[in-house]
Amino acid sequence: FSKEKVDYAVIETGLGGILDSTNIVNPILSIITNIGMDHMNILGDTLPKIASSKAGIIKPRVPAVIGVFHEETAPVFLEAASKTVSRVHFVDQTKSVEHIDTDLFGPYQDFNIRTILKSVEVLQEQGVQLKDNAIQAGLAKVKINTNMLGRWQILNAAPLTIADAAHNVHAFELVLAELQRIPHRHLHIVLGMVKDKDVEASLALFPKEATYYFCKANIPRGLDAKLLREQAQKLQLKGKAYSSVQGACDAAQHKAKIDDLIFIGGSCFVVAEAI
> Which of 38, 39, 90, 31 has its CA nearest to residue 58?
31
Helices then strands (H, E): number in the chain? Answer: 11, 9
DSSP string, 10-31: ----SS-GGG-GGGG---S-EE
pLDDT of residue 25: 86
DSSP string, 129-186: ---HHHHHHHHHTHHHHH---SSSEEEEETTEEEE----SHHHHHHHHHHHHHS--S-
At 47-60, the pLDDT tens digits run 778 888 888 888 99
Coil, helix or strand at residue 207 = coil
pTM (2 d.p.)? 0.75
User: Cis omega before residue 27 (within 30°)?
Assistant: no
Rounded to an integer, what distance in angstroms lies between the CA atom of residue 72 and that of residue 82? 17
At 170-183, the pLDDT tens digits run 889 889 999 999 99
> Which of 263, 267, 150, 165 has its CA nearest to residue 207?
263
pLDDT of residue 38: 55
Residue 107 CA, distance from chain mean position = 11
User: Which tops the pLDDT comparison, 178 or 252?
Assistant: 252
What residues are paired with 64 via a beta bridge?
Answer: 30, 88
